[in-house]
């Protein structure tokens, strides 16, 4: 197992990519703190991990709230003894074109996608520095490199995530902490499944591999970057987009 003996915190682990990442990490031997703002979902996910013979705790967290984040990191360390891996996956959208975007839409997305990643990473990095090892993985997006119509706020946060990833890789490398990001393109989620066939076909056509990513594709990228196989990779933004942008 590729994460045998490791411990991980995954934010936004109640559903979607975060849930799949938590399940994948647990299957590969990691003890996982399943963290999300939605309490019901995390209980289900951590129960599923335990039913499969893995180790997990469910912890409610609001990544925008520094006290709540501190509690999460303390609880993970207290329960598992260490914090080896953090996946900053929690993220939201509140789309509107520049000329129509409300201040509240801007603030909410910045708060979760940017400040949330800062909050969790700062708290976890303190523990990782003491351990003299750790891996921080951030959820970026191809939108963070190429922009997207209607996503001023979201693009700004993912661009910011890329900047923080590279900055922290430089700052934390001397403590044996690696920092990387995964940048998905289009992913099959409950949201995309409901889209009209025409839109889905158009999205698939944009990828040279003529498909959308599955949540497993993204979780596998996190797994690779968290594992020993990636021991010499840091400061990298790994696109998992089937070649939407080359």
Provide the binding-site residues for ligand NAI, judged by CB under 6 A: 11-12, 14-18, 36-38, 41, 61-64, 89-92, 112, 116, 139, 141, 184, 186-187, 189
**Which lies closer to ligand NAI via its Cβ, residue 7 or residue 138?**
138
From 146, 154, 188, 222, the catalytic residue: 154
**3-state DSSP of the chain:** CCCCCCEEEEECCCCHHHHHHHHHHHHCCCEEEEEECCHHHHHHHHHHHHHCCCCEEEEECCCCCHHHHHHHHHHHHHHHCCCCEEEECCCCCCCECHHHCCHHHHHHHHHHHHHHHHHHHHHHHHHHHHHCCEEEEEECCCHHHHCCCCEHHHHHHHHHHHHHHHHHHHHHHHHCEEEEEEEECCECCHHHHCCCHHHHHHHHHHCCCCCCECHHHHHHHHHHHHCHHHCCCCCCEEEECCCCCC
154 is in an annotated binding site: yes
In the complex, the smallest distance separating the C-beta of residue 190 from ligand NAI, rounded to whole angstroms, is 7
In the complex, the smallest distance separating the C-beta of residue 44 from ligand NAI, rounded to whole angstroms, is 11
In the complex, the smallest distance separating the C-beta of residue 177 from ligand NAI, rounded to whole angstroms, is 21
158 is in an annotated binding site: yes
In the complex, the smallest distance separating the C-beta of residue 222 from ligand NAI, rounded to whole angstroms, is 10
155 is in an annotated binding site: yes
**Residue that has been written with the tokens 């963290």 in this structure:** 35
24 is in an annotated binding site: no
Beta-bridge mates of residue 243: none
Determine whether 222 is an active site residue.
no
**Which lies closer to ligand NAI via its Cβ, residue 65 or residue 129?**
65
**Which lies closer to ligand NAI via its Cβ, residue 1 or residue 202?**
202
**Which lies closer to ligand NAI via its Cβ, residue 91 or residue 134?**
91
27 is in an annotated binding site: no
Tokens of 28: 């590969």
Q: Which residues are catalytic?
A: 154
List binding-site positions for NADP(+): 12-15, 89, 154-158
């Amino acid at each position: 197992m590729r994460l045998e003996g490791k411990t991980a915190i995954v934010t936004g682990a109640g559903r979607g990519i975060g849930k799949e990442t938590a399940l994948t990490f647990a299957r590969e031997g990691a003890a996982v703190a399943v963290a999300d703002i939605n309490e019901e979902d995390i209980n289900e996910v951590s129960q599923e991990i335990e039913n499969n013979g893995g180790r997990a705790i469910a912890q409610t967290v609001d990544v925008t709230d520094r006290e709540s984040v501190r509690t999460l990191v303390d609880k993970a360390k207290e329960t598992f003894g260490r914090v080896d891996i953090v996946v900053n996956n929690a993220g939201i959208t509140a789309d509107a074109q520049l000329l129509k975007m409300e201040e509240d839409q801007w603030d909410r997305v910045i708060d979760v996608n940017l400040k949330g990643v800062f909050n969790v990473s700062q708290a976890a990095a303190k523990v990782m520095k003491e351990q003299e090892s750790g891996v921080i993985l951030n959820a970026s997006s191809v939108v963070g490199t190429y922009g997207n119509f209607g996503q001023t706020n979201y693009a700004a946060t993912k661009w910011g995530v890329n900047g923080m990833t590279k900055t922290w890789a430089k700052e934390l490398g001397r403590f044996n902490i690696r920092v990387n990001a995964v940048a998905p393109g289009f992913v099959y989620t409950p949201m995309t499944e409901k889209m009209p066939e025409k839109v889905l076909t158009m999205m698939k056509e944009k990828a040279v591999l003529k498909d959308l990513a599955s949540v497993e594709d993204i979780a596998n990228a996190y797994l690779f970057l968290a594992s020993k196989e990636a021991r010499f990779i840091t400061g990298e933004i790994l696109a998992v987009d089937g070649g939407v942008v080359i």
